[in-house]
Amino acid sequence: MKSLAINTTLNDRISAFAKAGQLLSSFLQPDPNLESSNSWNQRIEESLQQAERKNSWFTRENLIHAITQWSQALLPENLEQWTNGYNLKKVNSKRVAIITAGNIPLVGFHDVLSVIISGHHAIIKNSSNDDVLIPLILDMASTHKEDLVSSYSFVKGQLPEYDAVIATGSNNTSRYFEYYFKGKPHIIRKNRNSIAVITGKETLEDMEALSEDVFRYFGLGCRSVSHLKVPRDYNFDLFFNGMYKQRNLIKFEKYTNNYDYNKAVYLMSEFDLLDNEFLLIKEENKSFSSPIASLGYSYYDNLEQVAEEISQKAESLQCVVINDVDREKLAPNFKDLAAPQFVNFGQTQCPTLNDYADGVDTISFLLTLS
């Protein structure tokens, strides 16, 4: 693998991305007295509008959520705490190709950030569904540190020369990736789903928080809850009361079309459904995945049974939502599992820099390239 020159230090890169985070924060809470910030605010606004025009699933609300999360992640203290866990002072720089997904806004940015912050060159092949915001944030960072432009490039079509690959896709495309990139060091990501373990001890506030895990990004993310584990004979009334917080989703045409279509399919198949007029749930014991506007659920008799199922299906899970008390009960069963990640209600779409997809430490992988 050939090395190449990266003209920035680790401190330069941290400073550059911290500046990008600051500009995002300034957009979210504008100060009319800062003229330089105002010009970037206009650029960010135009980019958000462009992203929404190109992908109508990227609503204004979801775009704002995404940049809010990244404005917080890119705080200097967060970047420093994250990078302090690795030896990034002397990295033999390589070219790392990144093939991003486009299911939710900025879903591929963590990989881009990891490659650049660790001192490598990111060759970025953006999904056509999400090709606006990653260039925007990199422009913000490189405006602050001009030499950062030596750390990334964008490509369409065939990849140029590269030393390693990080690729995200469906289960079908991952098989192609595995074959095509078998001769290079790689991280290949497949479909994953997230589940919530309901015990019956939850409050209405818990269920309202869970509605964020279910509906944020219309449930299109791998961290979106798509399945419920519930105790046998569970009463869903409190669950539906919590979901009611998201009732305005039915006003979004694409979501409504999916709800209507899936409801028709389920009814024609004579499935037993629970329906609150914008969310369908049905018993499902074979898969954790669910179509848009629907959830599967399955019963359990005790938490030990849930722990065993999670262990057996860990490779298909990204997050498990569960309350603190019961998470502590289950924790000993998962000490050898890198994934899934166990999170509180309402937190699946608020990952930190240390929350690596699939439990694969991207920085550690990148350090092996040196």
**Residue 150 pLDDT class (50, 70, 90 cuts):** very high
Residue 46: the pLDDT is 97
Q: Percentage of residues in the chain with pLDDT exceeding 90?
A: 85
Residue 328: the pLDDT is 86
Average pLDDT over residues 207-232: 97
Please choose, from the candidates 223, 191, 229, 227, the residue with its C-alpha nearest in 3D space to the C-alpha of residue 319: 223
- The answer to whether residues 362 and 166 touch, using CB atoms and an 8 Å cutoff, is yes
Please state, in angstroms and as integers, the Cα–Cα distance from residue 115 to each residue in 96, 160, 264, 364, following that order.
7, 17, 45, 11
Q: Using CA atoms, how far apart are residues 349 and 69, in angstroms rounded to an integer? A: 9
pLDDT in tens, 285-313: 989 999 999 999 999 999 999 999 999 99
Residue 37: the pLDDT is 62
Give residue 304's Cα distance to chain centre: 28
Residue 12: the pLDDT is 96
pLDDT over 80 at 4, yes or no = no
Residue 315: the pLDDT is 92
pLDDT in tens, 125-142: 999 999 999 999 999 999
Residue 50: the pLDDT is 98
Average pLDDT over residues 211-232: 97
Name the DSSP letter for residue 103: S
Q: φ, ψ for residue 172 (rounded to 5)?
A: -70, -50
pLDDT over 60 at 2, yes or no = no
Q: Using CA atoms, how far apart are residues 334 and 347, in angstroms rounded to an integer? A: 20
10 Å CB burial of residue 370 (0-12, 13-18, 19+) is middle
- The answer to whether the Cα torsion of 21, 25, 30, 31 is positive or negative is negative
**Residue 38 pLDDT class (50, 70, 90 cuts):** confident
**Residue 23 pLDDT class (50, 70, 90 cuts):** very high
Domains in the chain, CATH or no CATH each:
10-191 (3.40.605.10), 193-343 (3.40.309.10)
More confident residue, 89 or 4: 89
Residue 1: the pLDDT is 46
The CB-side HSE value for 309 (13 A sphere, CA atoms) comes to: 19
- Strand 121-125 to strand 95-99: parallel, antiparallel, or no bridges (unpaired)? parallel
Q: What is the pTM of this model?
A: 0.94
Mean pLDDT taken over the chain: 93
Average pLDDT over residues 107-135: 97
pLDDT over 50 at 365, yes or no = yes
pLDDT over 50 at 11, yes or no = yes
Residue 339: the pLDDT is 82
pLDDT in tens, 47-95: 999 999 999 999 999 999 999 999 999 999 999 999 999 999 888 999 9
Q: Using CA atoms, how far apart are residues 31 and 34, in angstroms rounded to an integer? A: 6
